[in-house]
Amino acid sequence: MIVCNILINSFAEGKTYSNLTSIPKNKVGIILGTAKNIKGGGSNPYYEYRLKAIFSLFKAKKIEFILVSGDNGSIYYNEPTTIKNDLVSSGVPADKIFLDYAGFRTLDSMVRAKEVFGLDDVTVVSQKFHNERAIYIAHKNELNAIGFNAEDISLESGLKVQLREYFARVKVFIDLALNTRPKFSGDKIKIE
């Protein structure tokens, strides 16, 4: 667990940004999905902070298009459409937003960004710990990725998520060893 964490952290060193002025431009920013609400119905701060981050990137013209990648596992749960609706409500034109309904895991989102959406370079938007893992997965799948770090929540509030992240980082290396593929591939979609 420690080795996996060190490898991912060291690879992502210098590839994540928290400042709009210093982040390089990319054609596409990919926001990694999460639930809008937490169990019990309250709002999910991870969701709110990711939306705020991708909107600020778009508004600053650091990206031209937004790829929303998330879980659409049932008719009652649809991260991509929910995120798109909130982005459009914030002022992002609908024709600048593309949806990846099969981003069930970070691995799926990164591989599909390369293989389905034909991207070579991307700016990933999530919290820093998640961006680091996404960047590593992207690299292993020949996708150049940098990360724009959405605001994080306190360790105390996000302890469960932080613990889950350590196991997710181990799973990255298991997936690499097993050559795990996304759940779905799909027809090519050009972002333009």
* Separation of alpha carbons 39 and 115, rounded Å: 33
DSSP conformation letters of 117-149: S--SEEEEEEEHHHHHHHHHHHHHTT-EEEEEE
C-beta of residue 97 within 8 angstroms of C-beta of residue 65: yes
pLDDT digits (tens, 9 = 90+) for 28-46: 999 999 999 888 778 999 9
What's the pLDDT score for residue 134? 98
User: How confident is residue 21, by pLDDT bands cut at 50, 70 and 90?
Assistant: very high
Cβ neighbours around 104 below 10 Å, total:
20
What's the pLDDT score for residue 158? 67
DSSP state at residue 71: B
Q: What is the mean pLDDT of residues 143-166?
A: 85
Q: What is the mean pLDDT of residues 12-37?
A: 96
What's the pLDDT score for residue 103? 93
* Separation of alpha carbons 13 and 110, rounded Å: 19
What's the pLDDT score for residue 89? 97
What's the pLDDT score for residue 73? 76
Which of 16, 33, 8, 18 is CA-nearest to residue 123? Answer: 16
Q: Are strands 16-17 and 97-100 parallel, antiparallel or unpaired?
A: unpaired
Distance of CA 24 to the CA centre of its chain: 17
DSSP state at residue 50: H
Tokens standing for residue 132 = 């680091």
